[in-house]
Structure 1
Amino acid sequence: MTQAARVYGGSLYDLATEEKLDGQIMEQMNEIRQIFRENPGYLKLLGEPAIPQEERIKLLDEAFGGQVEPYLLNFLKLLCEKKILREFSGCCEEFTRRYNADHGIVEALVTSAVKLKDDQMEALRIKLEKISGKKIHLTQKTDPTVLAGLRVEMEGIQLDGTVQGRISDITKKLNEVVV
């Protein structure tokens, strides 16, 4: 994340918190971020210097006007005017980081060989909340190299419940044994 993303994303978070719109703006930011991911050509179009700035601003108005908070729309326009709209994703990350810190939410990444069912994800979230004492927001990632079990990464800690992790632990313990 760049310094510009930290500054702009943090500033938007401060404003949203002051106006008590932080949750709503975060949700809308993530939706817009997803739109930009699914339509990279649109983001490129908004950053195209050959298109006059007024037209690019008008495109933002047409796409998001009346559908998102005015503060967020103005934020997008500001990034467009400053020619740093490509930093929007980083701004979202900073906004989310600050929101999570203020609300005691921890991001956790769960890696498994296959996609977990909703009830399994919910049971895991509840268990992690009991262990950590914090609210957990789970993100799932599938990795076919994981033979069985789960690997959870949160707050810089890795909880490895995979078969590979267990074999690795056993190997390490066997290597420590002096014959």
Structure 2
Amino acid sequence: MFAKQSLIKNWSSAITTIATENKKVEEFLSTARDLNALFLKDHEIIDFFSNRSIDLQDRIKMLDKAFASKIDVNLLNTLKLLICRNLFQATIDIFRQVITDLLKVSDSLYGTVYSISPLDSATIKKIESKLSNKTNKKVILENVIREELIAGILVEIDGKRFDSSVQGKMLDMRRKVIINRK
């Protein structure tokens, strides 16, 4: 099922408004990221909650059982509404838009730090702090493992790359050699 962009934006706008009014933007942002990652990782969850062959009340009970004590009641009710309106297939798209909208509201940037091995949270916090000072916005980073980097890290935020990997330095040297050859 392909959801219309207007439908996705309307649901996202409603969730963002609730988060802003309840002063829970950071909590909703974190939960939206977690839910999106969960649904992307295990598409069977979406298939289950979208399955109309399973009784509506059973799907809602299962949702309560899985998320009741873990997420905000407003987000839980949103998920229930998506089930009731047969729109659960659009949750990934909706929560992707929610993340984008909440980042705008909180004046934050979301990015990825690529490394050859997992970085500890203290290191990620240091990188976030340095990039926050550089961009004048709060930076939230997710660590992704990329073994082809050789060494160092690569950070991507808002379409910009900050590359301090050996691979990146080698590519820079290659570009300089090619430019100087001409």
TM-score range, shorter chain: 0.7 to 0.9
Aligned match of 2:78: 75
Structure 1: segments with no counterpart, 5+ residues:
none
| 1:148 partnered with 2:151 | yes
Residue identity in the other structure for 2:125: E
% same residue: 22
Task: For residue 51 of structure 1, give the secondary structure of its aligned residue in structure 2.
Answer: coil
Aligned match of 2:28: 25
In the TM superposition, what are the counterparts of 1:1-179 in structure 2 within 5 Å? 3=5, 4-33=7-36, 36=39, 40-65=43-68, 68-178=71-181
Q: CA deviation at 1:66?
A: 5.8
- Stretch deviating more after TM superposition (167-176 or 146-155): 167-176
* CA–CA separation in structure 1 for the residues paired with 2:89 and 2:150: 38
* CA–CA separation in structure 1 for the residues paired with 2:80 and 2:25: 19
Q: How many residues are paired up?
A: 179
Q: Provide closer, same or farther for how the CA distance between residues 99 and 175 of structure 1 changes in structure 2, counting only shifts above 3 A.
A: same
Q: Provide closer, same or farther for how the CA distance between residues 70 and 170 of structure 1 changes in structure 2, counting only shifts above 3 A.
A: closer
Q: CA deviation at 1:48?
A: 1.4
What is the TM-score with the length of structure 1 in the denominator? 0.83
Deviations along 1:26-62, one digit per CA (max 9) or x if unpaired, are: 4444454555566654432222111122332233334
Residue identity in the other structure for 1:126: S
- Stretch deviating more after TM superposition (30-39 or 102-111): 30-39
Rg: which structure is higher? Answer: 1
C-alpha contact 2:152 2:164 (8 A) present in aligned 1: yes
* CA–CA separation in structure 1 for the residues paired with 2:130 and 2:164: 14
* CA–CA separation in structure 1 for the residues paired with 2:37 and 2:178: 47
Deviations along 1:48-82, one digit per CA (max 9) or x if unpaired, are: 11112233223333443465433222211110012
Structure 2: segments with no counterpart, 5+ residues:
none
C-alpha contact 1:5 1:90 (8 A) present in aligned 2: yes
Root mean square deviation, CA, Å: 2.6
* CA–CA separation in structure 2 for the residues paired with 1:27 and 1:153: 19
* CA–CA separation in structure 2 for the residues paired with 1:52 and 1:64: 19
